[in-house]
Amino acid sequence: MEKYIFFGNNDPNAKMRKTKIKLNCFNIRNHSIYKKKNNPMAKIDDPITIKSITFRNRIGMSPMCQYSAIDGFVNNWHYMHYGTRAIGGVGLIIVEASAVSPEGRITPSDVGIWKDEHISELKKLVENIHSNGSIAGIQIAHAGRKASHAAPWNGSKQLISSESDWETIAPSPIPFDPSEKSPNEMTYSDIKAIVNQFRDGAKRALEAGFKVLEIHAAHGYLIHEFLSPLSNIRTDKYGGNFENRVRILLEVVNAVKEVWPSNLPLFVRLSATDWVENGWDLNESVKLSSLLKQKGVDVVDCSSGGNIISAQIPVEKGYQIHFAEAIRETGIMTAAVGMITSAEQISNILENEKADMVLLGRELLRNPYFVLKAIKNQNWPIQYLRAK
């Protein structure tokens, strides 16, 4: 069997050959001679440049919904929450899933990017992040059949009419939880509208000053629902074979690229697998990532699960890192995420070229200043120097 592999990653900082060669069978990245000669040994404190943007290190904050917005507007909670992590030294902050339409919200309190009025508050958030040395990114999202739910601290249940619920949409009328009301099957005009909403969301993100855009195609939300044959049983050109199921994501990428500048990084978050037999899987994620690379996507942010309620997920330390490693073999850059909590783990991922960046979620909720400790030579904010 032959496969193509890129020597090196796409990181312009890496002083490596970028020759595309034809290989037989085995994975050359794991070959000791290759490692000795070519391993760029990206370290925990190495900056990384993607297109025109240089991140001060390779540790980013993973997008995490705060369910604290009103009518989609960010507020003091968000300024404090993200500002603290920027002071804490991360290279990148990906602001939480921000809905491209009101119906695309998971909860009524999600951040929104569906109207121009949202831009000015988002702009303040971006300035806050940038003035503290981090690069501001944002994840744009549509929750599909997982929309219209309560916040976690209110039980995460599907809303009912007395709680101002709304109709949800999905590729097929299959609810995430069999006890829930079914979503409406999307028409072609619904699909077109959603694609346009992602494009308009990207345009607003740019106007707000974000430097990184992430398209949310993971965790069982709308785009992931199209990818998986378990949630997409359509018989038209958006369902069935792989090419049809990935169509909406590629359309979203095309639409976003109409407005998102070619010199700014574009990320896509995928669930690399549904963790269920006959569901979306790593092979399809790898195949899709090759297409995303051809389309000009820079980084695949490699998460997993969230689409099938009965999935048994083996959650443990670093349990998703191998997805980032496998997808990286296509030549696209990857971000590893999930149960990564120590500097040692991060160094291991970077030095062994399992991913180009590492995103932290809950560890940064526990410890916003993680990076100040994890990276020895990190510049501390001058105001904090006496505590170093």
Nearer to ligand FMN, 67 or 260 (CB): 67
Helix, strand, or coil (residue 19): coil
Q: How far is the CB of 83 from ligand FMN (least distance, A)?
A: 18
- Residue among 306, 282, 157, 158 at smallest CA distance from 222: 306
Mapped onto helix, strand or coil, the DSSP state of residue 4 is strand
Q: Which residues are catalytic?
A: 221
Position with the least CB separation from ligand FMN: 361
Binding site for ligand FMN (CB under 6 A): 62-65, 96-97, 139, 216, 218-219, 269, 303, 337-340, 360-363
Buried b (16+ CB within 10 A) or exposed e, 39-60: bbebebbbebebbebebbbbbb
Handedness of CA 360, 363, 366, 368 (dihedral sign): negative
| Closest CB 21 distance from ligand FMN, rounded Å | 34
Q: Min. distance of Cβ 98 from ligand FMN in angstroms?
A: 8
**Which of 29/269 has CB closer to ligand FMN?**
269
Question: Least distance (Å) from ligand FMN to the CB of residue 82?
Answer: 13
Helix locations, 51-187, DSSP H: 76-87, 119-131
In the complex with ligand FMN, which residue's Cβ is closer, 331 or 338? Answer: 338
* Residue type, position 157, single letter: K
Q: What is the dihedral of CA 330, 274, 323, 4, to 10 degrees?
A: -20
CB 309 within 8 A of CB 176: yes
Minimum distance between the CB of residue 111 and ligand FMN, rounded to whole angstroms?
A: 9
Toward ligand FMN, which CB reaches closer, 199 or 216?
Answer: 216
Nearer to ligand FMN by Cβ, of 68 and 352: the residue is 68
Count Cα neighbours of 386 within 13 Å in the Cβ-side half-sphere.
1
Choice between 134 and 139, CB closer to ligand FMN: 139
Burial classification of residue 86, based on how many CB atoms lie within 10 Å of its CB (0-12 exposed, 13-18 middle, 19 or more buried): buried
Distance CA 223, CA 246 (A): 8
Quickly list DSSP for 330-366.
TT-EEEEESS---HHHHHHHHHTTS-SEEEESHHHHH
Residue 219 CB, nearest distance to ligand FMN (Å)? Answer: 6
- Residues sharing a CB contact under 8 Å with residue 103, sequence separation 6 or more, in sequence order: 142, 147, 148, 166, 167, 168, 169
Q: How many CB atoms lie within 10 A of CB 383?
A: 8
* Smallest separation, CB 109 to ligand FMN (Å): 12
- Closer of 14 and 129 to ligand FMN (Cβ): 129
**How does DSSP assign 287-300, residue by residue?**
HHHHHHHHTT--EE
Q: Which H helix or E strand runs over 387?
A: none
